[in-house]
């Protein structure tokens, strides 16, 4: 995104000076102190661009959240030299892992930028300004950030929405003073979900039908709502939200013959929320995947397990486990970093609805949704008749459909199947709170047990 607006913040409390590689940092182009900005709707829009830019960071969806969850699960192998990635691949993560620390810090920077917008919009006195739409965008972004935090660092080893689940520290006001930025204890998991759903519901009620490519809109909010309820095993609510997106007819599945165009063409009809990159705002994904002969560093490759998860004739196999270059993904092919990143797409809504129908004992409807995705992939219809069989088939479908998109570990966690990766220590189902955050909090932030 161009002309990005950088919000000034108190950074010490979040440990933003934690060591990380400079080539993982994406900085906005311009800066404007929040105390002098936000006087016009143009100021707010600039601030919103800065809020979206946080997600583009290579410490967020510009690399890490596309790669780390699949690396920790079973879709990606580590073939490079970085020891922090080796820890994640070997599922022996230490609390001082700089990749985990950089992710945590960047997400909280993103939370703060969203909070700045939410707090400042009411000060704009312009009758032409759609204040609720702007707040809806910021609150949707904040919900997205807290969802990612609780999905990785919170919950319980058994999954989510269970008694005693842990959350993360909650900040809902901008950190414009030392007092604002003081460390906070972790909230409960339920308190974090409560904030997430309040933000999403506000966004659903107030966001425009469209805000342009890459920006949150009503369907983005509904799609995130469907994902949240699926993670919480609230299947009737998940089905309702997914159905509203599907029934809006604003998005359509690409045909099997055009499957690769979901990524190659960018902003296809299947995209619900697609993070925009260009030559001035690049990501690091292809660079870290591709071999040196193709201009990359060969840090990651597709796993044999992922390759073997594809049925014969599945058109997705060559996309997920490429032949040239070998064993990569061609969801990301531009080494110069201008590949867009799909955050949510229509296929996920069909598979969420399939899983919801299965858990609601609506077998025929579940099969219809599942087989829509299988047919697109060139596969024959599934014929499962039991809830357990359907859920297993859907999770298998999700693995190959969303490979290299950062959803695999979440699926294993939410369904209590994390030990399928070979993990034997249940505490490792949650990632460690970064050590610096614990050490600098004067005892307020507790570490996940086991680390």
**CA dist., res. 431 & res. 326, Å (int):** 31
Give the mean model confidence (pLDDT) for residues 165-186: 92
- CA dihedral of 370, 375, 379, 384, whole degrees rounded to 10: 30
Is residue 18 pLDDT above 80, yes or no? no
Reported pTM? 0.92
**CA dist., res. 20 & res. 97, Å (int):** 10
Residue 104's pLDDT band, with cuts at 50, 70 and 90, is very high
Give the mean model confidence (pLDDT) for residues 371-388: 96
Tokens describing residue 143: 């919900």
- State pLDDT tens for residues 120-158: 999 999 999 999 999 999 999 999 999 999 999 999 999
Residue % of the chain over a pLDDT of 70: 92
| Residue whose entry in the numeric block shows the structure tokens 């400079």 | 22
Side-chain half-sphere exposure of 424, counting CA atoms within 13 A: 0
DSSP 323: B
- The answer to whether the CB of 355 falls within 8 A of the CB of 294 is no
Is residue 24 pLDDT above 70, yes or no? no
Domains and CATH numbers, the chain: 5-421 (1.25.40.390)
Predicted local distance difference test score (pLDDT) of residue 127: 93
Is residue 176 pLDDT above 60, yes or no? yes
Tokens describing residue 201: 């519901």
The mean of the pLDDT values for the chain is: 92
- State pLDDT tens for residues 160-171: 999 889 999 999
Is residue 316 pLDDT above 50, yes or no? yes
β-bridge mates for residue 344, sequence order:
273
- The answer to whether the CB of 155 falls within 8 A of the CB of 192 is no
Predicted local distance difference test score (pLDDT) of residue 37: 58
Tokens describing residue 316: 């997705």
**CA dist., res. 141 & res. 450, Å (int):** 31
Predicted local distance difference test score (pLDDT) of residue 36: 53
Residue 6's pLDDT band, with cuts at 50, 70 and 90, is very low
Q: Give the Å distances, CA to CA, from 423 to 72, 84, 157, 426.
A: 10, 18, 11, 7
424: number of Cβ within 10 Å: 8
- State pLDDT tens for residues 27-80: 333 344 555 557 899 999 999 999 999 999 999 999 999 999 999 999 999 999
Give the pairing type, strands 30-31 and 341-345: unpaired
Predicted local distance difference test score (pLDDT) of residue 179: 83
- State pLDDT tens for residues 333-369: 999 999 999 999 999 999 999 999 999 999 999 999 9
Terminal-residue alpha carbon distance, the chain: 38
Predicted local distance difference test score (pLDDT) of residue 434: 98
């Amino acid at each position: 995104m161009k002309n990005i607006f950088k919000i000034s913040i108190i950074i010490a409390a979040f440990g933003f000076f934690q060591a990380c590689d400079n080539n993982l940092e994406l900085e906005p182009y311009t800066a404007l102190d929040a105390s002098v900005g936000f006087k016009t709707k143009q100021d707010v829009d600039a601030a919103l661009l800065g809020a979206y830019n946080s997600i583009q960071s290579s410490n967020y969806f510009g690399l890490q959240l596309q790669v780390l969850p699949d690396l920790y699960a079973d879709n990606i192998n580590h073939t490079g030299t970085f020891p922090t990635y080796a820890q994640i691949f070997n599922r022996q993560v230490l609390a001082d892992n700089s990749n985990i620390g950089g992710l945590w810090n960047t997400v909280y920077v993103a939370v703060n930028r969203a909070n700045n917008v939410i707090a400042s919009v009411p000060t704009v006195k312009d009758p032409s300004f759609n204040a609720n739409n702007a707040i809806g965008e910021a609150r949707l972004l904040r919900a997205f950030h807290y969802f990612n935090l609780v999905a990785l660092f919170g919950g319980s080893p058994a999954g989510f929405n269970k008694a005693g689940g842990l959350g993360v520290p909650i900040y809902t006001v901008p950190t414009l003073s030392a007092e604002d930025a003081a460390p906070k204890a972790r909230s409960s998991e339920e308190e974090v979900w409560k904030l997430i759903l309040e933000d999403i519901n506000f966004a659903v009620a107030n966001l425009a039908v469209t805000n342009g490519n890459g920006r949150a809109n009503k369907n983005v909010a509904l799609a995130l709502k469907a994902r949240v309820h699926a993670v919480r095993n609230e299947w009737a609510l998940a089905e309702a939200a997914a159905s509203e997106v599907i029934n809006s007819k604003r998005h359509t599945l690409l045909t099997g013959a055009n499957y690769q165009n979901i990524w190659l063409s960018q902003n296809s009809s299947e995209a619900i929320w697609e993070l925009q990159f260009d030559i001035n705002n690049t990501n690091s994904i292809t660079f870290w995947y591709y071999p040196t002969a193709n201009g990359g560093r060969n840090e990651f490759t597709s796993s044999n397990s992922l390759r073997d998860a594809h049925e014969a004739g599945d058109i997705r196999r060559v996309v997920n486990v490429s032949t040239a270059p070998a064993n990569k993904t061609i969801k990301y092919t531009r080494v110069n970093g201008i590949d867009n990143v799909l955050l949510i797409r229509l296929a996920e809504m069909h598979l969420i609805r399939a899983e919801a129908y299965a858990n609601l004992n609506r077998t025929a409807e579940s099969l219809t949704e599942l087989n829509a995705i299988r047919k697109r992939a060139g596969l024959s219809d599934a014929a499962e008749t039991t809830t357990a069989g359907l859920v297993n088939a859907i999770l298998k479908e999700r693995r190959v459909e969303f490979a290299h998109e950062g959803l695999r570990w979440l699926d294993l966690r939410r369904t209590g199947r994390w030990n399928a990766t070979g993990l034997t220590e249940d505490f490792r189902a949650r990632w460690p709170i970064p050590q610096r955050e614990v050490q600098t909090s004067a005892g307020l932030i507790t570490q996940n047990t086991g680390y």
